[in-house]
Amino acid sequence: MGDKTFGDRSKVCETLGTMGKKAATNEVISALIFAMGDTEIRWNACAALVNIGEKVVTTVIDILINA
């Protein structure tokens, strides 16, 4: 997501959120968590994480445990 324009990054977040649980890989979740640091797409990343659901919680817990 890093090298794309604002519109591209926003659309990626929106698409992943639409995919919901199908997008629930550790790599996708980590990328969306990282994207929350981008003020231009923060809300899109948060919305995608909410739509992905339960897997986000377990991934965040794992990240925090291993930090």
Tally the domains of the chain. Answer: 1
Evaluate whether residue 55 is within a structural domain.
yes
The pLDDT score that the predictor gives to residue 32 is 94
Evaluate whether residue 15 is within a structural domain.
yes
Evaluate whether residue 1 is within a structural domain.
no
pLDDT band with cut points at 50, 70 and 90 for residue 2:
low
> pTM of the predicted model, to two decimals?
0.84
- pLDDT 10s digits, 7-59: 999 999 999 999 999 999 989 999 999 999 999 999 999 999 999 998 999 98
- Give residue 16's domain range: 6-65
The three state secondary structure string of the chain is CCCCCHHHHHHHHHHHHHHHHHHCCHHHHHHHHHHCCCCCCHHHHHHHHHHHCHHHHHHHHHHHHCC
The pLDDT score that the predictor gives to residue 64 is 86
The pLDDT score that the predictor gives to residue 40 is 93
Evaluate whether residue 17 is within a structural domain.
yes
